[in-house]
């Protein structure tokens, strides 16, 4: 009898605040995990929440931070006892839209890495600039110029799936080309954070995948090719070479590099599956059924929906989907998610979610009419400046209310905003709908109860893992590898279980509050 060698699959998530890694077996059971928290484990980069903020809406991260985090997470996986020789394939997810600017000669460095040394030592000088990331709101002028160049916002949305958004990579490239031409010219390659991370494993530039690539305002989501007019509006004739050719997300892009074989004992045949955006990976990891909506509660809050066809979005985004089950996906991103909740938890009660929830439990649903909008960072939906606004039941603006009312005002108004804007984007929830929550805050049942009541819909979580983007990376590695080699894996079913169901009076409480939210949000200044 031929002995079957164990097979495993490795997934990474280069998200906003931390780098996470997970190893699953061929039954998709989680075997090992490790993570690195940027602010805590790598304080020398002086990030706060994984980013560095400028004075005019610029938000960046140093790419070397992500490289050093990879060195650290690999060592943590070694300490956890991972046998890398069993890994058949690796894939990953990353925060969307951020761009990594590689200087000329970087690919040679990637191809000639010595396994004797850390990556961050050898790649210390390859990045031309800090990476603008998804929280950046400094490119409004570039957005308007891009829209104008392709025939207006609706036309851009028809072609690329989105009107121009500040954080999208096209406007970010345009700003770089316009304001830092020497840096633009010194750049050999522009990667997304996902394809940059994949490049580290591949030992050469990895292609951008179509799903994350459709968060750039540069890709024609129908032809699956770069949109020439959009490229022309954002850079010069060399931009197409700087970006490379995008590939379907379910692609094997090559074998793992010699560096990882020699340093960590991967086999030389270990495959790399294209890395993608964290929300794209979450959609793949959640395996949502028709009518089910994904709710990712990471640094940002996002709503996700698999689509069979590309509908022109009135707001939000249509992206190319990450799997054959979801050829397209709808995405709505609210920048003030977990980090904003965490900041106000710290301000109101200190560093404990249990203390925060205890205070929350001392209030009633509907919060006696107190509502609040908390934008610690410029908001994406709706486009708005940062600030804090509080109102009482009569709509009178307040400077201050008791901390317990603030806890509920923060969470209820966030959930109301998610529903109001989702409805504007034609996310329809009916009796058969379910919300499947994931991401760091999805462990908080009190928060999920509020979402359940406000949406008047049951909320589920995935049993295997609280982070669907991370699990999705490992699952995609396994699925794409098994198709590639023609070997069916037993991969057990991914299960979801209910954690919150709406109270019978939820509609009565929250329908009038939804109307009030729509009125109150008009008082918040929009981003110029
Ligand atoms: N019990 C909890 N309740 C609410 N939020 C939580 C809880 N535990 C963790 N979080 C939040 O989860 C966030 C991190 O989630 P994560 O999905 O890892 O983010 P990202 O992927 O963007 O780095 C943190 O900002 C943290 O405040
Ligand atoms: O900009 C978006 C989506 O369009 C964000 O959702 C980023 O992809 C960051 O994700 P998290 O770190 O919050 O998961």
Q: Do 256 and 362 have their domain in common?
A: no
Verify that 257 and 360 share a domain, yes or no. no
pLDDT higher than 60, residue 253: yes
Of 279, 296, 320, the last residue of a domain is 279
| Residue 17 domain-assigned (yes or no) | yes
Quick check: 348 and 374 in contact, CB under 8 A?
no
In terms of DSSP bridges, do strands 219-220 and 225-226 run parallel, antiparallel, or are they unpaired?
A: antiparallel
What residues have CB less than 8 Å from 59, skipping those under 6 apart? 51, 52, 53, 132, 133, 134, 135, 136, 137, 377
| Residue corresponding to tokens 């934008």 | 375
What is the span of the domain harbouring residue 414?
A: 337-376+386-462+495-528
pLDDT at 449 over 80: yes
Residue listed under structure tokens 């410029």: 378
Q: How many domains does the chain have?
A: 2
Which H or E run contains 331?
strand 326-334
Rounded distance between C-alpha atoms, residue 100 and residue 131, angstroms: 5
Predicted local distance difference test score (pLDDT) of residue 528: 73
Distance from C-alpha of 167 to C-alpha of 99, rounded to nearest angstrom = 10
Verify that 49 and 197 share a domain, yes or no: yes
The region that residue 408 occupies, defined by phi over 0 for left and psi between -120 and 50 for alpha, beta otherwise, is: alpha
Atom of ligand 2 nearest to the CA of 167: 1
Neighbour tally for 318: CB within 10 Å: 24
Neighbours of 464 (CB within 10 A): 20
Which residue has its alpha carbon closest to ligand 2 atom 9? 95
Residues 362, 275, single domain; the answer is: no
Question: Residue 199's closest CA among 66, 44, 324, 18?
Answer: 66
How many other C-beta atoms are found inside a 10 Å radius of the C-beta of residue 207? 22
User: Is-contact 457 429, C-beta < 8 A?
Assistant: yes
Same domain, 275 and 358: no
Last residue of one domain, picked from the residues 256, 279, 302 = 279
pLDDT in tens, 476-511: 999 999 999 999 888 777 899 999 999 999 999 999
Q: Is the dihedral of CA 143, 195, 289, 442 positive or negative?
A: negative
3-state secondary structure 239-295: HHHHHCCCECCCCEEEECCHHHHHHHCCCCCCEEECCEEHHHHHHHHHCCCCCEEEE
Q: Do 366 and 507 share a domain, yes or no?
A: yes
Task: Classify residue 511 by burial, with Cβ atoms within 10 Å: 0-12, 13-18, 19+.
Answer: exposed
Instruction: Pull the structure tokens for residue 410.
Output: 């923060």
CA of 277 to the centre of ligand 2 (A): 8
Report the SS3 class of residue 73: helix
Is it the case that residue 325 has pLDDT exceeding 90?
no
Q: Kindly indicate the confidence band of residue 258, based on its pLDDT and cuts at 50, 70 and 90.
A: very high
- Judge whether 485 lies within some domain: no
114 is a domain residue: yes
Residue identified by tokens 């390659």 is 189
CA atoms of 479 and 473, how far apart (whole Å):
10
Take atom 14 of ligand 2 and give the residue whose Cα is closest.
298
Residue 82 lies in a domain: yes
Does the Cβ of 437 fall within 6 Å of ligand 1? no
Q: Is there a cis peptide before residue 382, judged by omega within 30 degrees of 0?
A: yes
Q: Does the Cβ of 429 fall within 6 Å of ligand 1?
A: no
Distances, alpha carbon 115 to alpha carbons 119, 123, 267, 388, 402, in Å: 9, 13, 14, 50, 57
Nearest to 372 by CA among 410, 342, 335: 410
Angle at 186 between CA 183 and CA 188, to 5 degrees: 120
Q: Given pLDDT bands bounded at 50, 70 and 90, which one contains residue 1?
A: very low
Average pLDDT over residues 10-37: 97
Ligand nearest to the Cα of 162, by number = 2
Question: How do residues 383-419 score in pLDDT, each as one tens digit?
Answer: 999 999 999 999 999 999 999 999 999 999 999 999 9
The answer on 355 and 274 residing in a single domain is no
Q: Using a pLDDT cut of 70, give the percent of the chain over it.
A: 98
| Probe residue for ligand 2, chosen from 61, 299, 316 as the CB with the greatest number of ligand atoms within 8 Å | 299
Overall average pLDDT of the 375-387 stretch? 95
User: Which of 14, 17, 134 should be mutated for ligand 2, with most atoms under 8 A from CB?
Assistant: 134
Any domain includes 310: no
Contact call for residues 318 and 221 (beta carbons, < 8 A): yes
Instruction: Please give the model's pTM, rounded to 2 decimal places.
Output: 0.96
For the stretch 273-303, pLDDT in tens is: 999 999 999 999 998 887 899 999 999 999 9
| Mean pLDDT (the chain, rounded) | 95
Residues 6+ apart with CB under 8 A from 10: 21, 22, 23, 84, 87, 89, 90, 91, 474, 477
Which of 279, 330, 377, 421 should be mutated for ligand 2, with most atoms under 8 A from CB?
Answer: 279
Distance CA 109, CA 282 (A): 32
Residues 6 or more apart from 374 whose CB is under 8 A from it? 336, 340, 344, 388, 410, 413, 414
Residues 149 and 227 in one domain: yes
Distances (CA, A) of 108 to 50, 102, 111, 289: 29, 11, 5, 44
Give yes or no for residue 306 having a pLDDT over 50.
Answer: yes
Q: Which of 279, 306, 325 is a domain's end point?
A: 279
In a domain, 316, yes or no: no
How far is C-alpha 494 from the chain's CA centre? 21
Q: Is 299 close to ligand 1, i.e. is its CB under 6 Å away?
A: yes
Same domain, 275 and 410: no
Q: What is the pLDDT confidence band of residue 170, given thresholds at 50, 70 and 90?
A: very high
CATH number where 401 lies: 3.30.420.40
Whether 312 shows a pLDDT value over 70: the answer reads no
Q: Are 18 and 142 found together in one domain?
A: yes
> Residue 270 falls within a domain, yes or no?
yes
Provide the token pair at 375: 């934008």
354 and 503 belong to one structural domain: yes
Q: Report how far residue 319's alpha carbon sits from residue 322's, in angstroms, rounded to the nearest whole number.
A: 9
Nearest ligand 1 atom to alpha carbon 356: 3
**Domain co-membership, 117 together with 41:** yes
pLDDT tens-digit readout, 62-115: 999 999 999 999 999 999 999 999 999 999 999 999 999 999 999 999 999 999
Q: What's the pLDDT score for residue 299?
A: 97
Pocket of ligand 2 (CB under 6 A): 15-16, 95-97, 134, 167, 215, 277-279, 296, 298-300, 302, 331, 333
Whether the predicted pLDDT of 215 surpasses 60: yes
- Count other C-beta atoms under 10 Å from residue 287's C-beta: 20
Tens digits of residue pLDDT in 24-63:
999 999 999 999 999 999 999 999 999 999 999 999 999 9
């Amino acid at each position: 009898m031929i002995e079957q060698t164990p097979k495993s699959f490795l997934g990474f998530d280069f998200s906003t605040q931390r780098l996470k890694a997970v190893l699953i077996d061929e039954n998709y059971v989680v075997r090992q995990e490790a993570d690195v928290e940027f602010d805590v484990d790598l304080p020398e980069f002086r990030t706060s929440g994984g980013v560095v903020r400028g004075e005019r809406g610029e938000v960046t991260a140093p790419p070397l931070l992500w490289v050093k985090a990879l060195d650290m997470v690999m060592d943590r996986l070694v300490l956890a006892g991972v046998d890398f020789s069993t890994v058949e394939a690796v894939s990953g997810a990353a925060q969307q839209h951020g761009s990594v600017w590689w200087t000329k000669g970087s690919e040679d460095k990637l191809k000639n890495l010595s396994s004797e040394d850390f990556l961050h030592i050898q790649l210390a000088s390859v990045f031309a600039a800090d990476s603008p990331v998804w929280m950046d709101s400094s490119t409004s002028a570039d957005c308007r110029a891009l829209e104008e160049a392709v025939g207006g916002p609706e036309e851009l949305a028809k072609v690329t799936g989105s009107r121009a958004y500040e954080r999208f990579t096209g406007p970010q490239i345009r700003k770089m080309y316009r304001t830092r031409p020497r840096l633009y010219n010194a750049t050999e390659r522009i990667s997304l954070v996902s394809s940059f991370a994949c490049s580290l494993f591949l030992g050469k530039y990895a292609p951008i995948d179509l799903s994350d690539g459709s968060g750039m305002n540069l890709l024609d989501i129908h032809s699956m090719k770069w949109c020439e007019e959009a490229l022309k509006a954002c850079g010069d004739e060399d931009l197409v070479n700087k970006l490379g050719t995008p590939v379907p997300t379910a692609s094997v892009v090559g074998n793992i590099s010699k560096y990882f074989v020699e340093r960590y004992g991967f086999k030389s045949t270990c495959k790399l599956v294209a890395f993608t955006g964290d929300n794209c990976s979450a959609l793949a990891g959640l395996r949502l059924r028709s009518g089910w909506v994904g709710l990712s509660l990471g640094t940002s809050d996002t709503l996700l929906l698999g689509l069979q066809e590309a509908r022109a979005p009135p707001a939000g985004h249509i992206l190319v989907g990450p799997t054959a089950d979801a050829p397209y996906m709808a995405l709505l991103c609210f920048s003030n998610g977990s980090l904003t909740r965490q900041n106000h938890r710290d301000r109101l009660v200190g560093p404990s979610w249990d203390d925060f929830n205890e205070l929350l439990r001392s209030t009633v649903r509907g919060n006696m009419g107190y509502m609040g909008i908390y934008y610690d960072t410029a908001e994406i939906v709706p486009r708005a400046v940062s600030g804090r606004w509080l109102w009482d039941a009569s709509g009178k603006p307040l400077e201050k209310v008791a901390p317990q009312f603030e806890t509920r005002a923060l969470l209820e108004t966030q959930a109301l905003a998610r529903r109001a804007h989702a409805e504007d984007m034609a996310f329809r929830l009916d009796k058969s709908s379910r919300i499947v929550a994931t991401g760091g805050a999805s462990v908080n049942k009190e928060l999920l109860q509020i979402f359940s009541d406000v949406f008047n819909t049951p909320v589920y979580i995935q049993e295997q893992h609280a982070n669907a983007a991370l699990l999705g990376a490992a699952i995609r590695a396994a699925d794409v590898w098994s198709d590639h080699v023609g070997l069916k894996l037993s991969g057990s079913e991914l299960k979801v279980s209910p954690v919150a169901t709406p109270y019978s009076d939820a509609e009565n409480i929250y329908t009038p509050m939804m109307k009030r939210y729509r009125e109150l949000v008009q008082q918040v200044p929009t981003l110029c």
